Amino acid sequence: MVGSKFVFPIRIYYEDTDAGAVVYYANYLKFAERARTEFLRYLGFGNQQEILEKDRFAFMVRHVEADYRAPAVLDDLLTVSCEMIEQKGATATLLQEIKRGEDVLVEVKVKAVYVNLQKRRPMRMPCDLIEKMKVVP
């Protein structure tokens, strides 16, 4: 089940870098998280607080793989893509690429579980959410 890619821009600031003006490795995971959040916002799940309080569901990261290929540096303009590459029951696997231009700097694969926060249990993703995540215009 392959979807289309959502793309989110990120600018690199001093706070993102180490003493050598190179992005600190853990910050790429923060960039990926921001893109996933904006992906959900784009799909119509914009008010995160309301979703947590009213709808009582959330995606929780179960597994992350990151392949670091090249560094980003101070003032780079990057894009972070987000694409659902697999969906089974309560689990969605997302492929994210962090790029500078056409160059892939980091590839992140995230397995996230859709969780009912009231019951604190995984639950099958709703069909409408799956369809929205599969096709991003």
Domain ranges of the chain: 6-134
Annotated catalytic residue: which of 18, 67, 75, 128?
Answer: 18
Nearest to 72 by CA among 124, 125, 11: 11
Q: What local confidence, expressed as pLDDT, does residue 2 receive?
A: 39
Nearest to 110 by CA among 21, 35, 13: 35
Q: Summarize pLDDT for 33-61 with one digit per residue, the tens.
A: 999 999 988 888 766 666 666 667 888 99
CATH number of 6-134: 3.10.129.10
Residue 78 is which amino acid? L
The predicted model gives 62-89 an average pLDDT of 97
CA distance 118 to 131: 24
Counting other chains too, the contacts that 47-51 makes at CB distance below 8 Å and 24 or more residues apart are none
User: In Å, how far are 20, 81, 82 from 27, measured between CA atoms?
Assistant: 15, 16, 16
Q: Is 128 a catalytic residue?
A: no
**Candidate from 39-48, 64-73, 80-89 with smallest mean pLDDT:** 39-48
Q: Summarize pLDDT for 6-40 with one digit per residue, the tens.
A: 999 999 999 999 999 999 999 999 999 999 999 98
